[in-house]
Amino acid sequence: MALAGVRVIELAGLAPAPFCGMILSDFGARVIRVDRTKVSMAMDSQARGKQSVALNLKSPQGVSVLKKLCLQSDVVLEPYRKGVMEKLGLGPEELLKENPRLIYARLTGYGQSGSYAKAAGHDINYLAMSGLLSMLGRSSEKPYAPLNLVADFAGGGLMCALGIVLALLERSKSGRGQIIDASMVEGAAYVGSFMWKSRSLGLWNRPRGENMLDSGAPFYDTYQTSDGKHVAVGAIEPQFYDQLIRGLGLDAASLPPQMSISDWPELRQTFHLVFAQKTQAEWSRIFDGTDACVTPVLPLDEAGSHPHNRERGSFLKDAQGEISPRPAPVLSRTPAQPCLFRDPVVGENTRSVMEEYGFDPAHIEQLLSAGVVECNETKARL
Ligand SMILES: C[C@H](CCC[C@@H](C)[C@H]1CC[C@H]2[C@@H]3[C@H](O)C[C@@H]4C[C@H](O)CC[C@]4(C)[C@H]3C[C@H](O)[C@]12C)C(=O)SCCNC(=O)CCNC(=O)[C@H](O)C(C)(C)COP(=O)(O)OP(=O)(O)OC[C@H]1O[C@@H](n2cnc3c(N)ncnc32)[C@H](O)[C@@H]1OP(=O)(O)O
Protein backbone atom coordinates (compact mmCIF):
# COMPACT_ATOMS: atom_id res chain seq x y z
CA MET A 1 0.00 0.00 0.00
CA ALA A 2 1.10 3.55 -0.70
CA LEU A 3 1.76 4.51 2.92
CA ALA A 4 3.23 1.20 4.09
CA GLY A 5 5.99 1.76 6.63
CA VAL A 6 4.68 5.17 7.76
CA ARG A 7 4.07 5.34 11.51
CA VAL A 8 1.49 7.79 12.80
CA ILE A 9 0.71 8.81 16.36
CA GLU A 10 -2.84 10.20 16.44
CA LEU A 11 -3.93 11.98 19.61
CA ALA A 12 -7.61 11.17 20.13
CA GLY A 13 -9.93 13.91 18.91
CA LEU A 14 -13.58 14.40 18.03
CA ALA A 15 -14.20 13.92 14.29
CA PRO A 16 -11.75 15.55 11.84
CA ALA A 17 -8.50 14.07 13.21
CA PRO A 18 -9.97 10.56 13.49
CA PHE A 19 -10.99 10.80 9.83
CA CYS A 20 -7.49 11.97 8.89
CA GLY A 21 -6.01 9.02 10.79
CA MET A 22 -8.39 6.58 9.13
CA ILE A 23 -7.43 7.78 5.65
CA LEU A 24 -3.74 7.25 6.46
CA SER A 25 -4.50 3.83 7.92
CA ASP A 26 -6.64 2.77 4.95
CA PHE A 27 -3.73 3.54 2.63
CA GLY A 28 -1.28 1.50 4.67
CA ALA A 29 0.10 3.67 7.48
CA ARG A 30 0.40 2.18 10.95
CA VAL A 31 -1.81 4.45 13.08
CA ILE A 32 -1.57 4.37 16.86
CA ARG A 33 -4.29 6.37 18.56
CA VAL A 34 -3.37 7.78 21.96
CA ASP A 35 -6.44 7.74 24.18
CA ARG A 36 -6.97 9.19 27.61
CA THR A 37 -6.94 6.78 30.56
CA LYS A 38 -10.10 6.09 32.61
CA VAL A 39 -12.48 6.36 29.67
CA SER A 40 -15.02 3.60 29.26
CA MET A 41 -15.23 3.63 25.49
CA ALA A 42 -13.64 5.29 22.48
CA MET A 43 -15.69 7.96 20.74
CA ASP A 44 -13.77 7.34 17.52
CA SER A 45 -16.17 6.02 14.91
CA GLN A 46 -13.37 6.21 12.36
CA ALA A 47 -10.92 3.86 13.98
CA ARG A 48 -10.56 1.45 11.07
CA GLY A 49 -7.19 -0.28 11.22
CA LYS A 50 -5.93 1.74 14.19
CA GLN A 51 -4.38 0.55 17.44
CA SER A 52 -5.06 2.16 20.81
CA VAL A 53 -2.65 3.10 23.57
CA ALA A 54 -4.20 4.62 26.74
CA LEU A 55 -1.87 7.18 28.21
CA ASN A 56 -2.26 9.90 30.84
CA LEU A 57 -0.58 12.96 29.39
CA LYS A 58 -1.17 14.93 32.57
CA SER A 59 1.64 12.98 34.19
CA PRO A 60 5.31 13.71 33.37
CA GLN A 61 5.90 10.00 32.84
CA GLY A 62 3.03 9.92 30.33
CA VAL A 63 4.62 12.82 28.48
CA SER A 64 7.92 10.88 28.35
CA VAL A 65 6.12 7.87 26.92
CA LEU A 66 4.58 9.97 24.16
CA LYS A 67 7.95 11.55 23.39
CA LYS A 68 9.46 8.10 22.96
CA LEU A 69 6.62 7.05 20.66
CA CYS A 70 7.09 10.21 18.57
CA LEU A 71 10.84 9.71 18.43
CA GLN A 72 10.29 6.53 16.42
CA SER A 73 7.35 7.77 14.33
CA ASP A 74 6.94 9.69 11.10
CA VAL A 75 3.84 11.71 11.94
CA VAL A 76 2.13 13.06 15.02
CA LEU A 77 -1.42 14.32 14.55
CA GLU A 78 -2.85 16.58 17.26
CA PRO A 79 -6.39 17.97 17.38
CA TYR A 80 -6.27 20.22 20.44
CA ARG A 81 -6.77 23.86 21.05
CA LYS A 82 -3.73 26.03 20.32
CA GLY A 83 -1.25 25.88 23.18
CA VAL A 84 -2.41 22.57 24.72
CA MET A 85 0.55 20.57 23.40
CA GLU A 86 3.06 23.27 24.40
CA LYS A 87 1.59 23.31 27.93
CA LEU A 88 2.27 19.57 28.13
CA GLY A 89 5.85 20.03 26.92
CA LEU A 90 4.95 18.30 23.66
CA GLY A 91 5.07 21.26 21.30
CA PRO A 92 6.63 20.98 17.85
CA GLU A 93 9.90 22.65 18.88
CA GLU A 94 10.39 20.02 21.55
CA LEU A 95 9.48 17.02 19.41
CA LEU A 96 11.21 18.14 16.21
CA LYS A 97 14.40 18.75 18.18
CA GLU A 98 14.36 15.10 19.20
CA ASN A 99 13.18 13.80 15.82
CA PRO A 100 13.92 16.24 12.98
CA ARG A 101 12.18 13.91 10.50
CA LEU A 102 8.87 14.18 12.36
CA ILE A 103 5.84 15.61 10.57
CA TYR A 104 3.86 17.46 13.19
CA ALA A 105 0.26 17.94 12.01
CA ARG A 106 -1.93 20.36 13.94
CA LEU A 107 -5.58 20.16 13.01
CA THR A 108 -7.60 22.99 14.48
CA GLY A 109 -10.58 25.15 13.63
CA TYR A 110 -8.94 28.53 13.36
CA GLY A 111 -5.25 27.67 12.90
CA GLN A 112 -2.26 28.45 15.09
CA SER A 113 -2.43 32.26 14.79
CA GLY A 114 -5.03 35.02 14.66
CA SER A 115 -7.39 36.29 17.34
CA TYR A 116 -9.68 33.22 17.22
CA ALA A 117 -6.82 30.72 17.48
CA LYS A 118 -7.63 29.74 21.05
CA ALA A 119 -11.42 29.82 20.77
CA ALA A 120 -13.60 26.72 20.98
CA GLY A 121 -15.68 25.95 17.92
CA HIS A 122 -17.19 23.28 15.72
CA ASP A 123 -17.76 22.62 12.07
CA ILE A 124 -20.63 25.09 11.73
CA ASN A 125 -18.47 27.92 13.11
CA TYR A 126 -15.56 27.16 10.82
CA LEU A 127 -17.87 26.89 7.83
CA ALA A 128 -19.41 30.24 8.78
CA MET A 129 -15.97 31.85 9.00
CA SER A 130 -14.95 30.40 5.63
CA GLY A 131 -17.62 32.46 3.85
CA LEU A 132 -19.29 29.35 2.47
CA LEU A 133 -22.11 28.95 4.97
CA SER A 134 -23.59 32.24 3.77
CA MET A 135 -24.12 30.59 0.37
CA LEU A 136 -25.78 27.41 1.59
CA GLY A 137 -29.54 27.20 1.98
CA ARG A 138 -32.86 27.56 0.23
CA SER A 139 -34.25 30.80 -1.08
CA SER A 140 -35.63 33.09 1.67
CA GLU A 141 -34.41 30.74 4.38
CA LYS A 142 -31.54 31.08 6.84
CA PRO A 143 -28.11 29.55 6.03
CA TYR A 144 -28.07 25.80 6.43
CA ALA A 145 -25.03 23.66 7.33
CA PRO A 146 -24.84 20.43 5.31
CA LEU A 147 -24.16 18.10 8.28
CA ASN A 148 -20.57 18.58 9.46
CA LEU A 149 -19.21 17.52 6.11
CA VAL A 150 -17.49 20.58 4.76
CA ALA A 151 -15.26 21.91 7.54
CA ASP A 152 -14.71 18.85 9.72
CA PHE A 153 -14.15 16.34 6.96
CA ALA A 154 -13.45 17.92 3.55
CA GLY A 155 -11.64 21.03 4.79
CA GLY A 156 -10.33 19.42 7.98
CA GLY A 157 -9.50 15.71 8.06
CA LEU A 158 -9.02 15.25 4.34
CA MET A 159 -7.02 18.44 3.85
CA CYS A 160 -4.80 17.55 6.79
CA ALA A 161 -4.19 14.10 5.27
CA LEU A 162 -3.16 15.82 2.04
CA GLY A 163 -0.75 18.03 4.00
CA ILE A 164 0.76 14.97 5.67
CA VAL A 165 1.22 13.14 2.37
CA LEU A 166 2.81 16.26 0.83
CA ALA A 167 5.16 16.61 3.79
CA LEU A 168 6.11 12.92 3.54
CA LEU A 169 6.81 13.35 -0.15
CA GLU A 170 8.97 16.41 0.50
CA ARG A 171 10.78 14.63 3.34
CA SER A 172 11.84 11.89 0.95
CA LYS A 173 13.96 14.57 -0.77
CA SER A 174 15.06 16.80 2.12
CA GLY A 175 15.14 14.25 4.92
CA ARG A 176 13.41 16.84 7.12
CA GLY A 177 10.06 16.95 8.86
CA GLN A 178 7.89 20.04 9.25
CA ILE A 179 4.88 21.49 11.03
CA ILE A 180 1.46 21.44 9.36
CA ASP A 181 -0.94 24.17 10.45
CA ALA A 182 -4.28 22.80 9.16
CA SER A 183 -7.09 25.27 9.85
CA MET A 184 -10.58 24.04 9.08
CA VAL A 185 -11.69 27.56 8.18
CA GLU A 186 -8.98 27.72 5.55
CA GLY A 187 -9.41 24.11 4.47
CA ALA A 188 -13.14 24.62 3.95
CA ALA A 189 -12.54 27.91 2.12
CA TYR A 190 -9.98 26.19 -0.12
CA VAL A 191 -12.40 23.37 -0.93
CA GLY A 192 -14.76 26.19 -1.91
CA SER A 193 -12.28 27.91 -4.25
CA PHE A 194 -14.68 27.38 -7.15
CA MET A 195 -17.22 29.61 -5.42
CA TRP A 196 -14.74 32.45 -5.10
CA LYS A 197 -13.15 32.10 -8.44
CA SER A 198 -16.38 31.60 -10.40
CA ARG A 199 -18.02 34.76 -9.13
CA SER A 200 -16.81 36.61 -12.21
CA LEU A 201 -18.90 34.21 -14.29
CA GLY A 202 -22.04 35.53 -12.62
CA LEU A 203 -22.85 32.15 -11.11
CA TRP A 204 -23.62 33.58 -7.68
CA ASN A 205 -25.06 37.00 -8.50
CA ARG A 206 -28.50 36.27 -7.10
CA PRO A 207 -29.53 35.80 -3.46
CA ARG A 208 -28.87 32.48 -1.71
CA GLY A 209 -30.98 29.64 -3.12
CA GLU A 210 -31.76 31.47 -6.36
CA ASN A 211 -28.68 30.65 -8.40
CA MET A 212 -28.15 27.82 -10.83
CA LEU A 213 -26.23 25.51 -8.52
CA ASP A 214 -27.75 26.31 -5.13
CA SER A 215 -31.24 24.92 -5.87
CA GLY A 216 -32.37 28.07 -7.66
CA ALA A 217 -32.62 26.34 -11.03
CA PRO A 218 -35.38 23.75 -11.55
CA PHE A 219 -33.01 21.56 -13.52
CA TYR A 220 -30.56 21.38 -10.57
CA ASP A 221 -32.67 20.29 -7.62
CA THR A 222 -34.37 17.34 -5.93
CA TYR A 223 -37.99 16.27 -6.44
CA GLN A 224 -40.33 14.07 -4.46
CA THR A 225 -41.69 11.00 -6.20
CA SER A 226 -45.10 9.35 -5.73
CA ASP A 227 -43.73 6.91 -3.10
CA GLY A 228 -42.39 9.73 -0.90
CA LYS A 229 -38.80 9.18 -2.06
CA HIS A 230 -36.73 11.66 -4.05
CA VAL A 231 -34.72 12.01 -7.22
CA ALA A 232 -31.80 14.35 -7.90
CA VAL A 233 -31.75 16.30 -11.15
CA GLY A 234 -28.55 17.85 -12.50
CA ALA A 235 -29.38 18.50 -16.16
CA ILE A 236 -27.35 21.65 -16.75
CA GLU A 237 -26.11 21.42 -20.34
CA PRO A 238 -28.78 21.93 -23.05
CA GLN A 239 -28.26 18.47 -24.58
CA PHE A 240 -28.79 16.82 -21.18
CA TYR A 241 -31.69 19.13 -20.37
CA ASP A 242 -33.39 18.02 -23.60
CA GLN A 243 -33.19 14.43 -22.42
CA LEU A 244 -34.70 15.41 -19.07
CA ILE A 245 -37.65 17.06 -20.77
CA ARG A 246 -38.12 14.03 -23.01
CA GLY A 247 -37.96 11.59 -20.08
CA LEU A 248 -40.53 13.64 -18.19
CA GLY A 249 -42.83 13.35 -21.20
CA LEU A 250 -42.99 17.13 -21.62
CA ASP A 251 -43.18 19.07 -24.85
CA ALA A 252 -40.17 21.43 -25.05
CA ALA A 253 -42.09 23.83 -27.32
CA SER A 254 -44.69 24.47 -24.63
CA LEU A 255 -42.09 25.26 -21.93
CA PRO A 256 -40.16 28.49 -21.31
CA PRO A 257 -36.48 28.46 -22.31
CA GLN A 258 -34.21 26.59 -19.89
CA MET A 259 -32.18 29.68 -18.92
CA SER A 260 -35.08 32.09 -18.50
CA ILE A 261 -34.56 32.79 -14.81
CA SER A 262 -37.85 34.60 -14.37
CA ASP A 263 -39.64 31.44 -15.51
CA TRP A 264 -37.79 29.11 -13.14
CA PRO A 265 -40.54 29.10 -10.45
CA GLU A 266 -43.15 28.05 -13.03
CA LEU A 267 -40.85 25.42 -14.54
CA ARG A 268 -40.07 24.04 -11.10
CA GLN A 269 -43.78 23.65 -10.39
CA THR A 270 -44.21 21.73 -13.66
CA PHE A 271 -41.31 19.38 -12.80
CA HIS A 272 -42.66 18.99 -9.27
CA LEU A 273 -46.07 17.87 -10.54
CA VAL A 274 -44.65 15.46 -13.09
CA PHE A 275 -42.11 13.82 -10.76
CA ALA A 276 -44.91 13.29 -8.22
CA GLN A 277 -46.72 11.00 -10.68
CA LYS A 278 -44.33 8.05 -10.60
CA THR A 279 -42.28 6.18 -8.02
CA GLN A 280 -38.55 6.61 -7.67
CA ALA A 281 -37.99 3.17 -9.20
CA GLU A 282 -40.18 4.05 -12.18
CA TRP A 283 -38.19 7.23 -12.77
CA SER A 284 -34.96 5.23 -12.52
CA ARG A 285 -36.23 2.87 -15.20
CA ILE A 286 -36.99 5.84 -17.43
CA PHE A 287 -33.75 7.73 -16.88
CA ASP A 288 -31.16 4.99 -16.34
CA GLY A 289 -29.12 4.64 -19.51
CA THR A 290 -29.83 8.23 -20.61
CA ASP A 291 -27.78 11.41 -20.15
CA ALA A 292 -30.63 13.26 -18.45
CA CYS A 293 -28.59 13.39 -15.21
CA VAL A 294 -31.38 12.04 -13.04
CA THR A 295 -30.52 9.69 -10.17
CA PRO A 296 -32.35 8.31 -7.16
CA VAL A 297 -31.60 9.98 -3.82
CA LEU A 298 -30.39 6.91 -1.96
CA PRO A 299 -30.49 6.58 1.81
CA LEU A 300 -27.28 5.23 3.37
CA ASP A 301 -28.70 1.74 3.77
CA GLU A 302 -29.55 1.52 0.06
CA ALA A 303 -26.42 3.11 -1.41
CA GLY A 304 -24.33 -0.06 -1.12
CA SER A 305 -26.87 -2.24 -2.88
CA HIS A 306 -27.49 0.04 -5.86
CA PRO A 307 -26.34 -1.95 -8.92
CA HIS A 308 -23.73 0.62 -10.00
CA ASN A 309 -22.15 0.83 -6.54
CA ARG A 310 -22.36 -2.94 -6.12
CA GLU A 311 -20.65 -3.53 -9.48
CA ARG A 312 -17.74 -1.32 -8.43
CA GLY A 313 -17.59 -2.60 -4.85
CA SER A 314 -17.90 0.98 -3.62
CA PHE A 315 -18.94 -0.06 -0.13
CA LEU A 316 -17.48 -2.72 2.14
CA LYS A 317 -18.76 -4.86 4.98
CA ASP A 318 -16.55 -5.29 8.06
CA ALA A 319 -16.30 -8.21 10.48
CA GLN A 320 -19.26 -6.80 12.44
CA GLY A 321 -21.40 -6.67 9.31
CA GLU A 322 -21.26 -2.85 9.27
CA ILE A 323 -21.30 -1.30 5.81
CA SER A 324 -19.16 1.74 5.07
CA PRO A 325 -17.55 3.41 2.05
CA ARG A 326 -14.40 1.80 0.73
CA PRO A 327 -11.38 4.12 0.63
CA ALA A 328 -11.21 6.44 -2.36
CA PRO A 329 -9.60 6.97 -4.77
CA VAL A 330 -8.66 3.60 -6.19
CA LEU A 331 -4.94 3.29 -6.96
CA SER A 332 -4.23 0.73 -9.70
CA ARG A 333 -1.03 -0.84 -8.34
CA THR A 334 -1.18 -0.02 -4.64
CA PRO A 335 -4.85 0.29 -3.69
CA ALA A 336 -5.96 0.77 -0.12
CA GLN A 337 -6.62 -2.43 1.77
CA PRO A 338 -8.85 -1.34 4.62
CA CYS A 339 -8.83 -3.44 7.76
CA LEU A 340 -12.11 -5.29 8.23
CA PHE A 341 -11.39 -6.32 11.81
CA ARG A 342 -13.31 -4.64 14.66
CA ASP A 343 -12.19 -1.26 16.05
CA PRO A 344 -9.76 -1.29 18.98
CA VAL A 345 -10.91 -1.07 22.57
CA VAL A 346 -9.30 1.87 24.41
CA GLY A 347 -5.88 0.73 25.60
CA GLU A 348 -6.09 -2.63 23.87
CA ASN A 349 -2.61 -2.31 22.33
CA THR A 350 -0.82 -0.38 25.08
CA ARG A 351 1.46 -3.21 26.13
CA SER A 352 2.31 -4.57 22.68
CA VAL A 353 2.98 -1.11 21.22
CA MET A 354 5.18 -0.14 24.16
CA GLU A 355 7.15 -3.36 23.87
CA GLU A 356 7.60 -2.76 20.18
CA TYR A 357 8.79 0.81 20.82
CA GLY A 358 11.47 -0.45 23.18
CA PHE A 359 10.01 -0.08 26.67
CA ASP A 360 11.23 -2.90 28.88
CA PRO A 361 8.57 -5.06 30.56
CA ALA A 362 9.44 -3.93 34.12
CA HIS A 363 9.05 -0.28 33.10
CA ILE A 364 5.70 -1.03 31.47
CA GLU A 365 4.49 -2.74 34.68
CA GLN A 366 5.59 0.26 36.73
CA LEU A 367 3.72 2.67 34.43
CA LEU A 368 0.66 0.43 34.55
CA SER A 369 0.56 0.26 38.31
CA ALA A 370 1.11 4.02 38.56
CA GLY A 371 -1.91 4.53 36.26
CA VAL A 372 0.19 6.39 33.70
CA VAL A 373 -0.82 3.90 31.03
CA GLU A 374 -3.73 1.49 30.89
CA CYS A 375 -4.00 -1.84 29.21
CA ASN A 376 -7.35 -3.33 28.29
CA GLU A 377 -6.39 -6.55 26.58
CA THR A 378 -8.96 -8.52 28.60
CA LYS A 379 -11.80 -6.14 27.78
CA ALA A 380 -10.86 -6.53 24.13
CA ARG A 381 -11.24 -10.30 24.31
CA LEU A 382 -14.75 -10.11 25.86
C1 LIG B 1 -19.46 18.85 15.02
C2 LIG B 1 -18.19 18.09 15.36
C3 LIG B 1 -18.23 17.50 16.71
C4 LIG B 1 -19.05 16.25 16.76
C5 LIG B 1 -18.57 15.40 17.89
C6 LIG B 1 -19.67 14.59 18.54
C7 LIG B 1 -19.68 13.25 17.84
C8 LIG B 1 -19.43 14.53 20.05
C9 LIG B 1 -19.39 15.95 20.69
C10 LIG B 1 -19.94 15.80 22.10
C11 LIG B 1 -20.01 14.29 22.32
C12 LIG B 1 -20.97 13.80 23.42
C13 LIG B 1 -20.58 14.40 24.77
O14 LIG B 1 -19.17 14.24 25.04
C15 LIG B 1 -21.41 13.78 25.94
C16 LIG B 1 -21.44 12.26 25.92
C17 LIG B 1 -20.12 11.67 26.41
C18 LIG B 1 -20.16 10.16 26.47
O19 LIG B 1 -18.88 9.68 26.87
C20 LIG B 1 -20.51 9.63 25.07
C21 LIG B 1 -21.81 10.20 24.58
C22 LIG B 1 -21.84 11.72 24.53
C23 LIG B 1 -23.29 12.12 24.28
C24 LIG B 1 -20.89 12.26 23.44
C25 LIG B 1 -21.24 11.70 22.02
C26 LIG B 1 -20.33 12.29 20.91
O27 LIG B 1 -18.99 11.96 21.10
C28 LIG B 1 -20.43 13.79 20.91
C29 LIG B 1 -21.87 14.18 20.54
C30 LIG B 1 -16.98 19.00 15.27
O31 LIG B 1 -17.05 20.06 14.78
S32 LIG B 1 -15.47 18.35 15.74
C33 LIG B 1 -14.32 19.67 15.52
C34 LIG B 1 -14.06 20.33 16.80
N35 LIG B 1 -12.97 21.29 16.72
C36 LIG B 1 -11.70 20.93 16.69
O37 LIG B 1 -11.34 19.77 16.72
C38 LIG B 1 -10.70 22.07 16.59
C39 LIG B 1 -9.48 21.87 17.46
N40 LIG B 1 -9.85 21.57 18.82
C41 LIG B 1 -10.41 22.43 19.66
O42 LIG B 1 -10.63 23.61 19.36
C43 LIG B 1 -10.75 21.90 21.03
O44 LIG B 1 -10.08 20.67 21.21
C45 LIG B 1 -12.24 21.68 21.21
C46 LIG B 1 -12.85 20.76 20.18
C47 LIG B 1 -12.98 23.03 21.18
C48 LIG B 1 -12.48 21.01 22.57
O49 LIG B 1 -11.98 21.86 23.57
P50 LIG B 1 -11.61 21.31 25.00
O51 LIG B 1 -11.56 22.47 25.93
O52 LIG B 1 -12.51 20.20 25.38
O53 LIG B 1 -10.19 20.63 24.77
P54 LIG B 1 -8.77 21.30 24.45
O55 LIG B 1 -8.74 22.73 24.83
O56 LIG B 1 -8.38 20.97 23.05
O57 LIG B 1 -7.82 20.53 25.44
C58 LIG B 1 -7.74 19.13 25.52
C59 LIG B 1 -7.47 18.77 26.95
O60 LIG B 1 -7.40 17.37 27.08
C61 LIG B 1 -6.13 17.02 27.64
N62 LIG B 1 -5.74 15.74 27.10
C63 LIG B 1 -5.70 15.35 25.83
N64 LIG B 1 -5.28 14.09 25.73
C65 LIG B 1 -5.06 13.66 26.98
C66 LIG B 1 -4.58 12.43 27.54
N67 LIG B 1 -4.28 11.38 26.81
N68 LIG B 1 -4.44 12.36 28.88
C69 LIG B 1 -4.75 13.43 29.68
N70 LIG B 1 -5.20 14.61 29.20
C71 LIG B 1 -5.34 14.71 27.88
C72 LIG B 1 -5.21 18.15 27.23
O73 LIG B 1 -4.07 18.18 28.03
C74 LIG B 1 -6.12 19.33 27.43
O75 LIG B 1 -6.19 19.61 28.82
P76 LIG B 1 -6.29 21.13 29.36
O77 LIG B 1 -7.68 21.62 29.00
O78 LIG B 1 -6.08 21.02 30.84
O79 LIG B 1 -5.22 21.93 28.67
* C-beta of 155 in contact with ligand 1 (< 6 A): no
120 CB near ligand 1 (under 6 Å): yes
Q: Which strands sit side by side in the sheet containing 294-296, from one edge to the other?
A: 220-224, 230-234, 294-296
3-state secondary structure of 360: coil
Cα 135 to ligand 1 centre (Å): 29
What is the per-residue pLDDT for 74?
A: 98
Please report the pLDDT score of residue 130 as a whole number: 98
- What residues contact 47, with CB distance under 8 A and at least 6 apart? 18, 22, 33, 343, 344
pLDDT at position 371 is 96
Instruction: Please tell me if the CB atom of residue 51 comes closer than 6 angstroms to any atom of ligand 1.
Output: no
Whether 380 has a pLDDT exceeding 80, the answer reads: no
Q: How far is CA 293 from CA 219, 265, 289, in A?
A: 9, 20, 10
Angle at 146 between CA 157 and CA 81, to 5 degrees: 40
Q: Report the nearest-CA residue for atom 14 of ligand 1.
A: 43
H or E stretch at 195? helix 193-197
Residue 59 in contact with ligand 1 by CB distance below 6 A:
no
Q: Which of 326, 17, 8, 330 is nearest to 159 (CA)?
A: 17
Q: Which entry of 35, 74, 152, 181 is annotated as an active-site residue? A: 152
Alpha-carbon span 275 to 283, nearest angstrom: 8
Residues in a beta bridge with 32: 9, 51
Per-residue pLDDT of 184-229, as tens digits, reads 999 999 999 999 999 999 999 999 999 999 999 999 999 999 999 9
**Band of the pLDDT at 377, cuts 50, 70, 90?**
confident
Q: Which protein residue's CA is at the shortest distance from atom 66 of ligand 1?
A: 36
Kindly state if the Cβ of 157 falls inside 6 Å of ligand 1.
no
Q: Which atom of ligand 1 is nearest to the CA of 110?
A: 38
Q: Is 230 a catalytic residue?
A: no
pLDDT at residue number 381:
73
Between CA 354 and CA 65 the distance in angstroms is 9
Residue 9 Cα to chain centre, angstroms: 19
**Is 152 a known active-site residue?**
yes
Tens of pLDDT, residue by residue over 275-322, are 999 999 999 999 999 999 999 999 999 999 999 999 999 999 999 999
pTM: 0.96
Summarised one tens digit per residue, pLDDT across range 103-160 is 999 999 999 999 999 999 999 999 999 999 999 999 999 999 999 999 999 999 999 9
* Residues 348 and 52 sit within 8 Å (Cβ to Cβ): yes
Mean pLDDT of 228-247: 98
